[in-house]
Each structure stands twice: as structure tokens, then as C-alpha cells.
Amino acid sequence: MSKRSSIKLIPLGGFNEIGKNMMVLEKDEDMIIIDCGVMFPDEDFPGVDYIIPDFSYVKRNVNKLRAIIITHGHEDHIGGIPFLFKEVMAPVYATKLTKGLIELKLNEHQIFEGVQLNEIDEDDMLNIGPFTIEFFRVSHSIPDTIGIAIKTDVGTILHSGDFKFDQSPLDGKITEFSKIGTYGREGVLVLLCDSTNSEEEGFTLSERDVGKTLLEKFTQAEGRVIVTTFSSHIHRIQQIVDMSEKFQKKLAISGKSLLKTIKIACELGYLKIPEDLIIPINKIDEYPLKKITILATGTQGEPLSALYKMAVNEHKRIQIMKSDMVIISASPIPGNEKAIANIINMLIKHGADVYYESIAGVHVSGHAAQEEIKMMINLVRPRYFIPIHGDNMHKVQNGKIAQEVGIPEENIVIAQNGDVIKINSNLCRVSKNIDTRTIYVDGLGFGDIDDIVLRDRKLLSRDGVVLNIIGVDLKKEEIFCEPDLTFKGVTFLENFDSIIKECKNVVTEAVNNCFKNNITTASTIEKYANDRLEKYLIKKIRLKPVVITKILSN
């Protein structure tokens, strides 16, 4: 009989934030990954498109990697796969809709070679190395969401996935309570439990409640109804389709991500749309205002989204008017509240009637509130409890919920990204941390952007830039063309001409000082002039613009 070894659980994302969820499970010489997502940056990361997990540990141990298992098709669970596949590959296992969304994402990144996508459902069982993997259906804000049971000779680890207990889901596919309860009766060593909504009391409302609110708003609407929701929220989109059909409205779609997701969901049978309901966005003027619904991107105030363009009057086809009703059927991702508030204010200024989560029931969460988390724990009755998917305040609150239903405090592990959690039949604790980095996707490239780059971007956005060009003969050690300064993004200054004159004197003096000290290298002179000019501007105008000096030599 072989000796039982411990399991290593290593979160690479989703333990210090809401987003970029990724978990490594390792036993002996075998390793699997659960989810591989992205996180959308806030205003503290100017110019950054996504934040993704640090794949360094996976790359170092690629010979152990056997499979990637995905719980559902949201960006914070699948968005990192194309970036991972640029480094390493492994077979992916996902439910039907999730698989379709992953295929779309890989096609966008033109990743085809070596891809192995395997379709699973909640009744499948996988034997991968020392892991026997089973699945159970859960309710969430996207169809085909699953939780995972990983059975080993050490014990069973249950991963809740993102879940809520919706007793009347739109698709009729209720959480498989009987399966979860069976695992509990058989014995679960560790429960990894979604923490996203752990601060919310009671139960999360059913998706059907949104339908009641949408019915009320569509009844009240005097003109066009413009709705924005997450492109992956298939159930919400279906309700908007149903309302449009009920009120005999044509539905136009504005936003590439929505169009792509709707196409896939229709092809796979997850959306039912009457054949003549949808019209091209350029045909909306051919119908009365009261007969138009517009489904648009822009739930998070994204600058390139359809709703943002409408709000700033830059949309090619749609101008907001007084009879419009705008419904923002989503909750703000932390960090996006200001951007969304700005859009709401602009839409109201244009005369639109705007409804959003905090003033109308136009959105419900896909995550379990406190009472549902208690139900999950009571069904599973695990020995150890690890809160997942959230920042520290969410995880700590989830740990307190676990204590309320009888999990001892010493059996609750509050872990961080990069922690190596060692698990055996009598132990569950953090043994060390592998020191993960923050990885940014910036345009076409990705990596650990230096802090100085982000610092410069913040300075540029806050205080602007000063470009300083000066002609210098380095051999003769003399200035042949006086400094020419250009200010961009710098707040209007009083006595601007005198400040420009002083700046020129500062630069000229800096160059001459270099010559006096036998410094004749262009890069060194540029650096010294930058430093002197920057200090002058801080003292004189209380601003710290990015200063760029360029020497033109003959």
C-alpha cells in the first residue's frame, strides 16, 4: 500500500481581489488548475487593459500539469487562458457554453495549434493522475456553472465555484443539493467557498425578480428602452429579449462583445430569440421610438463601450433624447463606481430616465449571501474551510460565517495569493508563499510593468508633461539654440510667459554647469537638466509634470 502524501493548494489569483481567479492543486508529480481569469484594472492602473495571474509557478512545473478545469464562462475565470496558452498548454475541461466562450476567446487571440478543449457536464467523472474529479451544478449569473469535487486518498476537496441558491432559476436547472449533501455525508476534508457576497445578509434574490422590475419599466417606457448588461449574462439577455417580444419592440444590439456572445449562445441553444425580433442598429430610425429596445455594452463605464459613446454624444447611430429610458442592469465592479456615476450623470443631463441597481431592482447578484453560505457549509460539513474569491475583508467575513455554523476558528484558513496551503488528513495550513507578482496586459504585450512606468502614467494624467528641446554643440561646449519648451496637460498658469522665461534660464544654467564640470555626454546633461527643471516647477507652480529633455547636437 502506497504512503499517503499531502496535497498542495496554491492560489495564483482571486485571494487578494475579486477577479483573476486561478487555483493550482498539486499532489506528488501531478498538478491540475481550476480556472484562469483576468481582472479589470481601475484608475490606479492607467493604460493597463487587464491584470492576469502570475504563471511562473506553472511554467516551472509544466511537466506536472495534467489539466485545466473551468467552473464557468465569466472573464474572471476564463479570460487568462489565452495568455497562459502563450506560455504553456494543457487539456481544458469545461461545460458546453463555457467551452464555446473559451473557443471564441482563443480565436480572437489566434491560438489554434495544440489546443485541447473537452466538453463535460455535471454528471461526468474524470480520473486525472491521483485526482478523481466530479461535478455538481450550481446557480450563477451565467448558465452551465459547476462546482467541483476533487477526491484523493488524502480526502475530498470541494470547490464551490461561484454560486447562489436560486430556487426558481430561469432555465429550471436548480443547484444539485442532493449531490452536495452526498459529498457531505461521505466526508469532505476541505471546502473552498465563494466569498464575493459574504458581507450581504440574508439570501440573494432570484433572477426572476429582475424580470418583474423589467416588466414594470418596459410598461412605463414612453420611448426607446436602452439596456446595458454583462455580455455573458445569458439569463438577463433572455429576459430583455422576452420583454421586447411581449411589448412588440424590435431589438437592436450595440457592442461587439454582446454580438459575439449572443451568436454563440443562440448556436448552442442557450438563447431563444424570435427570428424577426433583432434588427441592425442602422435600422432603428425606421421604427417608432416606442417600438425600439437597444441592448448595449457599457455596464462598467468603459470608455470604448456603446453606452459611454451615447453618454458623450459620440455614438454613430444613437443620440440620447428625453423620451429614452436607460436601464443599467449590472452592479459596479469595485473601482468602477466613479466611471459609472459619470455616465449616469451625463445620460440624465441629456434628458434620459436612468435606472440602476441602487435605486431600482434592475440587477441581482450571482453570488451567495450569508444565509446561502451557511446552507452550503451545513450541507458539506467540512473539516477545514478556506474562503476563496474575494479580498481580505470578504474572506475574513466568510470565515466568521463558518464559525457561526460550527467550524472551529483553527480550522479556517485565510490565505493570500501565492500561499502554499499544505493539506493532509489531519492538517490544513499555509506552509510558505511563492511570492507571486502582479502581471499586467498592456496593449499587445504582457508582463510585470515596472512601478516607475505606472508612476509616470499617473503623473502624466495628473500634472501633464513638459518637453524641453535645446541645441548644444558638445565638442565646443556651448549652446547654439536656446531651450524650446512645450507644456501639455499642465494647468493654466498665471504669468505663464515669465515662468517660461525662468524655465529657459534654469535649463541654460544646468547645461552650462555640466560644461563647467567637464560633463559632455548628452544623456547625462539631459538627466541633469530634467532634474533641475523638475525641482523648479515643483517649487514654483506646485506641480510635478513629467519632464523630458532632448539635446539636439550638430
Set of cell numbers at residue 201: 445578509
Q: Compute the half-sphere exposure of residue 306: CA atoms within 13 Å on the CB side of its CA.
A: 23
Active site residue 389: no
Is residue 367 part of the annotated active site? The answer reads yes
Give the active site residue among 194, 242, 353, 463: 194
> Which of 233, 367, 389, 394 is the catalytic position?
367
Set of cell numbers at residue 363: 440587477
Calpha distance 372→139 (Å, rounded): 12
Ramachandran class of 35: left when φ > 0, alpha when ψ lies in -120 to 50, beta otherwise: left
Q: Rounded to an integer, what distance in angstroms lies between the CA atom of residue 367 and that of residue 166?
A: 10
- Where are the extended beta strands (E) located within 271-313? 278-279, 292-296
Is-contact 547 468, C-beta < 8 A? yes
| Pairs from 306-312 (Cβ < 8 Å, separation ≥ 24) | 306/228, 306/254, 306/255, 307/226, 307/228, 307/343, 308/343, 310/226, 310/347, 311/342, 311/343, 311/346, 311/347, 311/350, 312/346
- Rounded distance between C-alpha atoms, residue 35 and residue 338, angstroms: 29
Q: Which residues pair with 133 in a beta bridge?
A: 126, 150
> SS3 string of 122-157?
CCCEEEECCEEEEEEECECCCCCCEEEEEECCCCEE
Q: Which of 519, 528, 522 is nearest to 552 (CA)?
A: 522
Sign of the four-CA dihedral 335, 240, 208, 375: negative
CB atoms within 10 A of CB 328: 28
The answer to whether the beta carbons of residues 10 and 26 sit under 8 Å apart is yes
Structural contact between residues 136 and 149, judged by C-beta atoms closer than 8 angstroms: yes
49 CB neighbour count, 10 Å cutoff: 15
What are the φ/ψ torsions at residue 174 (nearest 5 degrees)? -80, 150
Question: Where in the sequence numbering do the catalytic residues fall?
Answer: 194, 367
